[in-house]
Amino acid sequence: MAKLKLELENENEQTVVYTRDKVKGRAVRKAFQTMKKIEEADYEEQLDTLIDYVVDVFDKPGVTEDSILDGIESEELMSTLSNVITDVVGVDPEDADNAQAKK
């Protein structure tokens, strides 16, 4: 079972933690669609696609495009968003890299 966690800094510079204890199969399907779309997109489209996916999968009022863009440090943004997808599909990014290297 996927358990998701997203930490965002609010306007008062406090960290707010959002969690999702249960994720339905539809989120996995959409994750695969998102990954495919990312492969064919430029950097800005990749970012927008990831943000849309994270907003959709968390489905909480505090998780919005603006709260993500304003609440995650720049150097952590892409990895944080990508980790949500890998958590949903149950893939360890390090294992995926190792599997690719073996091919």
Residue range(s) defining the domain that contains residue 97: 4-102
- State the sign of the Cα–Cα–Cα–Cα dihedral 30, 36, 40, 41: positive
Question: How many angstroms separate the CA atoms of 56 and 28, rounded?
Answer: 12
Helix (H), strand (E) at residue 7: strand 4-9
Rounded-to-integer distance, Cα 30 and Cα 99, Å:
23
Reported as a single tens digit per residue, the pLDDT across 40-61 is 999 999 999 999 999 999 999 9
pLDDT at position 19? 95
Quote the pTM value: 0.84
pLDDT tens over the chain, length 103 residues: 568 999 999 999 999 999 999 999 999 999 999 999 999 999 999 999 999 999 999 999 999 999 999 999 999 999 999 999 999 998 765 555 544 444 4
- What is the tally of structural domains in the chain? 1
